[in-house]
Amino acid sequence: MGGRKGYSLKVIVGDMRKVRSDQKQLLQGVKENDPKKIVDASAKILSKSDKALESLAYSYLFVDSIKDDYKKLSDESIKERRKELSKRWAAFRKEKGKKFDSSTNRDVVDSATRVLGGGE
């Protein structure tokens, strides 16, 4: 049985110099099992990362772009839904002239698949 793939913070946020103190707070929160500290540090890290904010913004725009096909997509099997969403995400990125790394692409498609009713 597999689990979610993890990524280093640098892959997600890019320039680590902006988030060093927040990274320490995040690690401390994880060590202490303190959800409030984890959420606070995560929000600070996200707000300082242009790379993460851009991918988040485009993923919201993508989900909004498929809203008219919600019923049709949610009725498909998870495998077919993921395949269709992958195609649509690729077309959406091409239309917008945006490129993201493979981990971001996978996360957007996986999240959209779950939002539409299912996923691993």
Total-model pTM: 0.72
Q: Two tokens at 26? A: 């995040």
- Domain regions of the chain by residue span: 9-48, 50-115
Give tens-digit pLDDT for 32-51.
Answer: 999 999 999 999 998 888 88
Give tens-digit pLDDT for 54-112.
Answer: 888 999 999 899 888 888 888 888 899 999 999 999 999 999 999 988 888 998 998 88
C-alpha distance from residue 71 to each of 59, 67, 77, 104, 114 (Å): 19, 9, 12, 25, 14
Give CA–CA dist 57/67, Å, rounded: 16
Residue 104 per-residue DSSP state: H
Q: Token pair 């793939």 is at which residue?
A: 5
